Amino acid sequence: MRNFKRPLFLVVLVSAASWLTAQQNFSLYHMESLPQRSTLNPALMPDCKWYVGFPGFNSLGVQATNSGFNLNEISKAIDISGSDTLLNLNRLLNVFSKQNYLSLKADQTRVNFGFRAKKHFFTAAITDKAGIKVGYPKDLFRFIIDGNGGSNLGETFDFRFSADAYHYREYGFGYAYSIKNKLTLGTKVKYLQGISRAELRDAYIKFRTRPEDYAFEISGNYQLNVASSLGQIITADGSSPVLNATGFYKGIKNTGWSIDLGAEYAFTNKLKLSASLLDLGYINWKQNTTSIVAANPNATFVYDGFHISSSDTAVDPAAYFKRLGDSLTGMFSSDTVHRSFRSTLSTELMFGASYAFRKNLKLNALFYGDVYNKRLMGGLTLGLFWRPAKIFSLSLNNTFYGRALLNPGFCMAFNLGAWQTYISSENFLAPLMPGSVRGTSFRAGWNFTFGRSKSRGIGTGDPGNNKGGGKAAPIDPTSI
Amino acid sequence: MNKITKTFSLVLCVMLLFAACMKDPLGKIKDINGVRWRGDYAAPLVNVDLNLEDAVALVNPDWVSSFPDKTLLIHYDKKHYSKKGEELYVVGDRSFNGNIIPTAAELSTLNSSGAVTVSRNMVFDMGPGVGLQFDSMWLKAGTFISAIAVSTNHRGNVTVEFSDLIEGGLPVSILRDWSSGGSINQNLIHAVSGIEPLDLTKGNQGFNQIRVKVTWELIKTGAVVNNEQLKLNLITNGLKFRKLYGNLGQTGLFNVQDSMDLTLFSNNILKGNIVFEDARIKVHFKNSIGLKSQYQIQQLSLIAKNGTPVAVTSYNAVGNIAAAPDNTSETEITDSVYITKASGSNVASVMKTEPYYLAYNIGAAVSPGRGYIWDSSDIALTVTTELPMLVSTKDLVLEDTSDLDLGIGKEGDYVEMIKFKMNAENGIPLGAGVQCYFMDATNKVLDSLFQPFRYAIKQADIDAGGNVLSASKDQWELVVEKPRISNILKAKRLRTRAWIPTSSYNGNPVPVRITTDQKLKFKLGAEIILSADAKF
């Protein structure tokens, strides 16, 4: 039995830890030769006159995150006691934040192209985005492991759960404008087609134990919204849903808009600052919607012991048990309605800084934040961008995200004539140090870029006056 | 390789080196061979809010009830029943004979007219016994058999009519005929169906007699001679009544000699003293016989532990039990002999000596006179010792010892602490203290539950008359920690001792009145700390 239990335990532990923490494509942000960087800041123009993404494979990304814990943190909860190595469950709780998240995202850009017109740069892209994000509370484990007694008497355990699963298609039209080679402003307007959505909102159970008599005070609420352009996911009769999936979607009523805003300012030839606000928008879900909502929102239930009383058990014990059961089930009973709802996108915020202290070497910083469940999740990336040759550029960085301090990432781009390929990954050292891994991401794609500078040196010309033709004045004054 | 390339490569190498030098947590995690855990859990157990009426209803003991003034009452009952009506009075099977011989004038009419009707009225005695006079019976079963033996030369018929036995509103009548002369033997049978009233008062005696009318019609078909004769043998078989009316004599109903165990006093776990201020004895009759009866209490004694009897005094040893009123169905009436301190009896004072038994000898018989009885009528005798809860206790301790097996093995090692938390509000002038002694197989005490001992529930405050003024409020915690838990888990025997004090007034014991509307409220919760170093 021992031989069986131990590997099983390890598998569970390692599997849990292998969910990795949020790793955006931070490495991409400062890759000046890649058109895809405009997805992180619409003011960041590529160093070419025009480009076309390889259809279906110009940007394919996946990303997995776990904000909860990694193996290093688990190892801190281990007690060595003689010949025994014991996992201290109480200390293990320290690896969790108050609210923890697991997420998995994927996106694929089907069509992508852009071109420069003097100081203007226009882009267009069609991208499918899908993801799932689940939030779970530390209190759930604290309740199970530490218990509700002792110092936890009188404390309210907040079991707050969240879940978002989405799939939508984005038709984006970007525009960037450079003002006197100093300031570049950009925006991208995106028309959204919602394909499927499931979201668990305001789902919580609050549990408090009264110190004076140990009575349980329980309250709760939940709302599950589901919609799909492909058909009714939750059917009225409980039968299996029939979804009609097609390649391109016509007649979709689940639509919305979002906008990306960005700016970049060159203080000097060496120092540039940038900022962007991404995915500020929403989708109105009107088609095939189902909402399962708590029939008694925020209902409260108090259990103060098995009642032996004149008004309950003594009069009619069966009725007492029925009432007790009804109170509990009533608290979690639901109503099903079909009504439209609006989901907002997960808005992201970025502040970037770049300092070119050598001709082909830059020091970069990027602060990243996203807002989820009214909480700002932030991260900081510090890195180097190096372009040793015209055909090759490399970004190396490390991200400090959540409570994970070592998250090295990279992005490499190769330009072989017009053909450009790139690959980026975060936590690329994960195989060497699995213990510290919280998250990873991977992105790759092919582009065809035209009209790039033939020099890798620092340009000084106005991008609007850039005529190409081998002049050492690339589009971006600080690009290499 | 230029300088930048070297720098960049250096950064990359440093990162790789740093990563390589990081302590591999997997190795440590792989060594895990168990878990360490400590949890503290609390839960409410029971929430009691009961008045004594509901508490009694919940447990539903047949030895607790209450007076109209809500005073709670403990009572010991013993019931006895008399024989039922159909056992007391049996309608025996009867056989009567009658003989009909036509007169000369009737034969002359037959000869001259060709036909004659010979009619005779007969009266038979249904008397059940000496001193009993049945006037009416409502029969529910049985058979009347009229066996006829006719010697005749003529065709004819015979009708036997029971004028006073009514079926369907008409007298019962049976007809038989024959087509030619000869010897004719036939049984004319009437089986009682439903309830058939039979009037036994129409004979010249006025009771116990049944009338029968025999009508013999002869139609001349042969020579008219002098040997015509009809013999009638009337037999009653298995007659049973539903109701009987008459003078039913002075029939004995019961004579009970028995005793009653007064468990409260004789139980060995009782120590100390409990004083009932107004103990009573009730001899109760429930009579469903429509006749006045007479009871006689020949003995009523309370027996002490050593067997010494003390006669209960001041009660009516002989008296009447009223007759149940007559009606279309069975009725009943109750009558009691109530022996109390108020009636001058010594019962209350003798009961304070805590006797073990009540011995009694009680008889009853129907009083002479007319009345009725149903087949299921009887008299139920109930002897009751009533202990109204106007009580005081002095050092009252109940104790019991039993084997103990908590059935908890090694799992008990995980328990670090158990805590019970009690919030009590008691409106009953009785308190309760419980101590559990955990002992080994040789009855050596290993540990006890309350250290130090304390009452679990305090008694309510009372006035000088023993009536409750206000409920007592109390809150306590009982903490049992690991060393004591080990002792308890090792225990093989459990001695439970309970103290039940009554409220006192200004420090002096007074009898307290315990009523059904007095209330006890308490909440009991438990907290447990579990800890484990559990290896896989």
Q: Does A311 touch chain B (CB under 8 A)?
A: yes
Identify whether residues B413 and B299 lie together within a single domain: no
**Alpha-carbon span B466 to B511, nearest angstrom:** 6
Domain presence at residue B12? no
* Residue type at A125 in one-letter notation: A
Cβ-defined contact of A85 to B25 (cutoff 8 Å): no
**Alpha-carbon span A348 to B169, nearest angstrom:** 104
Cβ-defined contact of B423 to A212 (cutoff 8 Å): yes
Cβ-defined contact of A149 to B46 (cutoff 8 Å): no
**Alpha-carbon span B303 to B195, nearest angstrom:** 51
Identify whether residues B99 and B243 lie together within a single domain: yes
In sequence order, what are the residues at sequence separation of 6 or more whose Cβ sits closer than 8 angstroms to the Cβ of residue A237?
Answer: none
Question: How high is the pLDDT of residue B365?
Answer: 94
Question: How high is the pLDDT of residue B431?
Answer: 93
CATH number at residue B113: 2.60.120
pLDDT surpasses 90 at B476 = yes
CB-nearest partner of A86 from B26, B35, B49: B35
Domain presence at residue B9? no
Beta carbons of B352 and B310 less than 8 angstroms apart: no
How close A149 comes to chain B (CA, Å)? 4
Q: Does A77 touch chain B (CB under 8 A)?
A: no
Question: How high is the pLDDT of residue A332?
Answer: 83
Domain presence at residue B215? yes
Identify whether residues B501 and B512 lie together within a single domain: yes
pLDDT surpasses 60 at A196 = yes
Of the two residues B12 and A272, the one the predictor is more confident about is: A272
**Alpha-carbon span A318 to B119, nearest angstrom:** 75
Of the two residues A378 and B363, the one the predictor is more confident about is: B363
In sequence order, what are the residues at sequence separation of 6 or more whose Cβ sits closer than 8 angstroms to the Cβ of residue B216?
Answer: B100, B102, B117, B118, B119, B120, B150, B156, B157, B158, B230
Q: Each residue of B180-214: pLDDT tens digit?
A: 889 999 999 999 999 999 999 999 999 999 999 99
Query: Strands B229-247, B370-374: parallel, antiparallel or unpaired by DSSP?
Result: antiparallel
> For chains A and B, what is the number of CB pairs under 8 angstroms?
188
Question: How high is the pLDDT of residue B151?
Answer: 93
The pTM for the full model equals 0.72
Cβ-defined contact of B8 to A13 (cutoff 8 Å): no
* Residue type at A294 in one-letter notation: A
Identify whether residues B260 and B376 lie together within a single domain: yes
How close A189 comes to chain B (CA, Å)? 38
Q: Which of B388, B415, B448 is the last residue of a domain?
A: B388
Q: Which of B388, B418, B451 is the last residue of a domain?
A: B388
Identify whether residues B242 and B254 lie together within a single domain: no
What mean pLDDT comes out for the span B354-366?
94
Cβ-defined contact of A214 to B525 (cutoff 8 Å): yes
Question: How high is the pLDDT of residue B234?
Answer: 94
Nearest to A89 by CA among B532, B477, B357: B532
Q: Which of B219, B247, B275 is the last residue of a domain?
A: B247
Nearest to A428 by CA among A442, A412, A445: A442
Q: Each residue of A80-132: pLDDT tens digit?
A: 878 889 999 999 998 888 888 888 999 999 999 999 998 999 999 999 999 99
Q: Does A381 touch chain B (CB under 8 A)?
A: no
Q: Which of B13, B33, B45 to mutate to test the interface with A (most CBs of A within 10 A)?
A: B33
How close A429 comes to chain B (CA, Å)? 7
Q: Does B318 touch chain A (CB under 8 A)?
A: no
What mean pLDDT comes out for the span A421-440?
75
Identify whether residues B241 and B104 lie together within a single domain: yes
pLDDT surpasses 60 at B241 = yes
Range of the structural domain that residue B360 is part of: 72-84+250-388
Q: Each residue of A331-367: pLDDT tens digit?
A: 888 898 999 999 998 888 999 999 998 878 899 999 9
Helix (H) or strand (E) holding B137: strand B133-152
Q: Does A392 touch chain B (CB under 8 A)?
A: no
* Residue type at B453 in one-letter notation: F
| Cβ count within 10 A of residue B103 | 10
Identify whether residues B204 and B336 lie together within a single domain: no
Backbone angles phi, psi at A402, to 5 degrees: 60, -130
Q: What is the DSSP letter of B430?
A: B
- Count up the domains in chain B and report the number: 3
Using the structure block, give the residue that is written with the tokens 């058109």: A35
What mean pLDDT comes out for the span A22-47?
84
Which three-class secondary structure state does DSSP give residue B263?
helix
Q: Does A333 touch chain B (CB under 8 A)?
A: no
Nearest to A344 by CA among A229, A235, A225, A439: A225
CB-nearest partner of A71 from B26, B423, B529: B26
Question: How high is the pLDDT of residue A19?
Answer: 32
Q: What is the DSSP letter of A8?
A: H
Residue A410: both structure tokens together: 């990279």
Question: How high is the pLDDT of residue A81?
Answer: 78
Q: Does B400 touch chain A (CB under 8 A)?
A: no
Nearest to A390 by CA among A122, A39, A48, A57: A48
Q: Does A177 touch chain B (CB under 8 A)?
A: no
pLDDT surpasses 70 at A5 = no
Identify whether residues B427 and B520 lie together within a single domain: yes
Q: Which of B26, B414, B476, B529 to mutate to test the interface with A (most CBs of A within 10 A)?
A: B26
Residue B339: both structure tokens together: 């022996």
Q: Which residues of B touch A430 (CB under 8 A)?
A: none
**Alpha-carbon span A360 to A382, nearest angstrom:** 17
Q: Does B526 touch chain A (CB under 8 A)?
A: yes
Q: Does A141 touch chain B (CB under 8 A)?
A: no
Domain presence at residue B25? no
Cα-Cα end-to-end distance for chain B? 56
Q: What is the DSSP letter of B290?
A: B
Q: Does B479 touch chain A (CB under 8 A)?
A: no
How close B481 comes to chain A (CA, Å)? 14
Domain presence at residue B26? no
Beta carbons of A464 and A476 less than 8 angstroms apart: no
Closest residue in A to B22 (Cα) is A433
**Alpha-carbon span B295 to B259, nearest angstrom:** 18
Q: Does B49 touch chain A (CB under 8 A)?
A: yes
Question: How high is the pLDDT of residue A4?
Answer: 41
How close B386 comes to chain A (CA, Å)? 25
Helices (H) and strands (E) in chain A, counts: 6, 23
Identify whether residues B336 and B364 lie together within a single domain: yes
DSSP sequence for A67-131:
SS--HHHHHTTEEEETTEEEEEHHHHGGGS-SEEEEEEEEEEEEEEEEEEETTEEEEEEEEEEEE
In sequence order, what are the residues at sequence separation of 6 or more whose Cβ sits closer than 8 angstroms to the Cβ of residue B16?
Answer: A429, A432
Q: Each residue of A53-76: pLDDT tens digit?
A: 998 888 999 988 877 677 777 888
Using the structure block, give the residue that is written with the tokens 């888990």: B489
Nearest to B288 by CA among B200, B366, B386, B387: B366
Q: Each residue of B66-87: pLDDT tens digit?
A: 999 999 999 999 999 999 999 9
Identify whether residues B370 and B260 lie together within a single domain: yes
Using the structure block, give the residue that is written with the tokens 């800084």: A353
Beta carbons of B131 and B196 less than 8 angstroms apart: no
Identify whether residues B94 and B156 lie together within a single domain: yes
DSSP sequence for B383-412:
EEEEEESEEEEEEEEEEEEEE------GGG
Domain presence at residue B308? yes
Question: How high is the pLDDT of residue A451?
Answer: 87
Q: Where do the domains of chain A lie, and which CATH numbers do they carry?
A: 2-295+333-465 (2.40.160)
Domain presence at residue B21? no
Identify whether residues B99 and B151 lie together within a single domain: yes
Beta carbons of B398 and B270 less than 8 angstroms apart: yes
**Alpha-carbon span B297 to B295, nearest angstrom:** 7
* Residue type at A57 in one-letter notation: F
Q: Each residue of B481-511: pLDDT tens digit?
A: 988 888 888 899 998 888 889 999 998 889 9
Domain presence at residue B17? no
Q: Which residues of B touch A27 (CB under 8 A)?
A: none
Cα-Cα end-to-end distance for chain A? 62
**Alpha-carbon span B510 to B491, nearest angstrom:** 40
Of the two residues A230 and B512, the one the predictor is more confident about is: B512
- Of the pLDDT bands very low, low, confident and very high (cuts 50, 70, 90), residue A7 is very low
- Tell whether omega for the bond before A46 is within 30 degrees of 0, i.e. cis: no
Q: Which residues of B touch A151 (CB under 8 A)?
A: 40
Determine the length of chain B: 536
Question: How high is the pLDDT of residue A473?
Answer: 28
* Residue type at A191 in one-letter notation: Y
Per-window interface: B 228-257 vs A, CB < 8 A? none
Beta carbons of B391 and B106 less than 8 angstroms apart: no
- Of the pLDDT bands very low, low, confident and very high (cuts 50, 70, 90), residue A478 is very low
Backbone angles phi, psi at B265, to 5 degrees: -95, -30
CB-nearest partner of A10 from B30, B47, B535: B30
